[in-house]
Amino acid sequence: MPPLFTEFLRFVRQHWEAGKSILIHCNRGDYRAPSLALLFLAKVVGVLPGEGYQEALGKFFKLYPNYLPGQGIQIYLNKKWDRF
């Protein structure tokens, strides 16, 4: 999974810095796309704290209260946060 997330961040950073709009979506919008949006907002835009997943997660819930991350994605992002 790390290459998928790092490639996503590379792609959105490139387009964001070029002034393009970013649309992140999935079928239900409760965990896949919001997890990527959380990464984007923390690691690319800097709207969320980027130092730790738990801190970013707490702030993200205020922006998107319908976020329902599964235990697997939470464990993964918590462990790998510094790699992104």
Half-sphere exposure of 32 (CA within 13 A, CB side): 7
For 3-54, the pLDDT digits (tens) are: 888 899 999 999 999 999 999 998 888 888 999 999 999 999 999 998 999 9
For 46-83, the pLDDT digits (tens) are: 999 989 999 999 999 999 999 999 999 999 999 999 98
Q: 3-state class of 50 per DSSP?
A: coil
d(CA 55, CA 23) in angstroms, rounded, equals 24
d(CA 30, CA 41) in angstroms, rounded, equals 16
pLDDT the model gives residue 3: 83
Could you tell me the pTM of the whole model? 0.89
For residue 31, give Cα distances in angstroms to 17, 20, 34, 58, 78: 25, 24, 5, 15, 15
